[in-house]
């Protein structure tokens, strides 16, 4: 990761369509996730928008361990922008588990970009048809420190299942797909915007099934984590899955440090929404990248630069989003 100082960024005034008067270009690091998820292509798409439309700034999407690691990277100034799940962002901002010892109150949001759906995948013939069927099985709960693991553990615990009840494996998306394909695990968790490439690739080689949640299980999860919301994975999202699957979702938040230059934050927010079609071309999850979604689902205060963009757009901004 590049350690980019925000003092240097603040020294550059970046105007809409205006050059920076010969100032040295700012190299921005965008913390994403593994290559098999959605964070990496979305982050790459955002980097391309910055490179193309913001004079004096360039950006690179970095492969990381995803949400929990990304929040830490922002706090240490090791990344300039990061994607992270709303539950992870909320917990870090407020110093809740697993951030009691290292809260990150300096986190600020630019937007909620799209919702992550918790997708519990198994292969046909596994005998796993419900959340409770995971007990005693080999289950990947996501990469260590990822938002997938945070969401999986919260969902399981809220419904009376602990890691002691399963043979838990902590694998990233591609590793989880490979382990399912090879029969090394029985089920795996993804918390990611559907459709995601690692599940699509798995479905091309094995007959898969998605494990649905009951309404009671969803209610228990929301009681434990208020940023969760019910979500329906539509039939046909993946090859061979021809029924709707009820699950939960969590917004994905684009976060920065409170010390980011206000003009830079404004310009990044502006180009993301003005050129959202370019993000949709990168991944269909960006169909949910709207001002309405951002203002209705972001769990922490927004950066003043982002707020200026939303104010200029004429949107009504909830008081909770103001620092």
Range 193-206 average pLDDT: 93
Q: How many CA atoms lie within 13 A of 46 on its CB side?
A: 32
Q: What is the mean pLDDT of residues 26-47?
A: 94
H helices present in the chain, as ranges: 6-10, 39-53, 67-75, 86-94, 147-158, 173-182, 197-203, 215-224, 262-274, 276-282, 291-297, 304-312
What six digits make up the tokens of 2?
């590049």
Q: Do domains 6-114+252-321 and 116-250 have the same CATH topology?
A: yes
CB 44 within 8 A of CB 61: yes
Residue among 133, 109, 106 nearest 120 (CA): 133
- Give percent above pLDDT 90 in the chain: 80
User: 12-21, 135-144, 159-168: lowest mean pLDDT where?
Assistant: 12-21
Q: Would you say domain 116-250 falls under CATH 3.40.190.10?
A: yes
Give the domain ranges of the chain: 6-114+252-321, 116-250
Query: Tokens 């969803």, residue?
Result: 218
Determine whether domain 6-114+252-321 maps to CATH 3.40.190.10: yes
- Give dist(CA 107, CA 91) in Å, integer: 11
Give the per-residue pLDDT at 21. 29
pLDDT at 312: 97
Supply the pLDDT for residue 171: 97
Determine the average pLDDT of the residues in 130-134.
98
* pLDDT grade for 25, boundaries at 50, 70 and 90: low
- Average the pLDDT over 161-179 and give the result: 97
pLDDT number for residue 87? 86
CA 78 → CA 28, 108, 121, 250, distances in Å?
A: 10, 15, 34, 25
Examine the pLDDT at 216 and tell me if it is beyond 70: yes
Contacts 24+ apart (CB under 8 A), 90-97: 90/227, 90/299, 90/300, 91/150, 93/299, 93/300
């Amino acid at each position: 990761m590049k350690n980019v100082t925000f003092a240097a960024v603040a020294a550059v005034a970046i105007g809409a369509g205006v050059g920076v008067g010969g100032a040295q270009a700012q190299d921005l690091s965008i913390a994403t996730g593994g290559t098999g998820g959605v964070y990496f292509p979305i982050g790459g798409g955002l980097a391309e928008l910055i490179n193309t439309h913001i004079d004096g700034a360039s950006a690179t999407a970095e492969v990381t361990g995803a949400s929990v690691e990304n929040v830490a990277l922002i706090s240490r100034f090791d990344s300039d922008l990061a994607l992270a799940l709303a539950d992870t962002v909320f917990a870090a901002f407020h110093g809740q588990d697993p951030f009691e010892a290292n809260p990150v109150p300096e986190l600020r949001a630019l937007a909620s970009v799209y919702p992550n759906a918790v997708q519990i995948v198994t292969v046909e013939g596994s005998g796993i048809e419900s959340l409770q069927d995971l007990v005693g099985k080999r289950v990947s709960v996501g990469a260590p420190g990822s938002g997938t693991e945070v969401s999986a553990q919260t969902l399981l615990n809220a419904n009376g299942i602990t890691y002691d009840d399963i043979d838990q494996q902590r694998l990233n998306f591609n590793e989880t797909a490979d382990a399912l394909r090879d029969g090394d695990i029985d089920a795996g968790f993804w918390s990611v915007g559907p459709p995601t490439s690692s599940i699509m690739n798995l479905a091309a080689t094995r007959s898969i099934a998605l494990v649905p949640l009951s309404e009671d299980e969803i209610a228990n999860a929301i009681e434990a984590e208020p940023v969760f919301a019910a979500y329906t994975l539509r039939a046909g999202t993946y090859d061979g899955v021809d029924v709707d699957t009820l699950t939960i979702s969590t917004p994905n938040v684009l976060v920065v440090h409170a010390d980011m230059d206000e003009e830079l934050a404004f310009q990044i927010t502006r180009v993301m929404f003005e050129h959202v079609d370019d993000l949709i071309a990168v991944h269909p999850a960006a169909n949910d990248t709207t001002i309405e979604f951002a203002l209705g689902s972001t769990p922490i205060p927004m950066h003043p630069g982002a707020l200026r963009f939303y104010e200029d757009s004429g949107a009504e901004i909830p008081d909770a989003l103001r620092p």
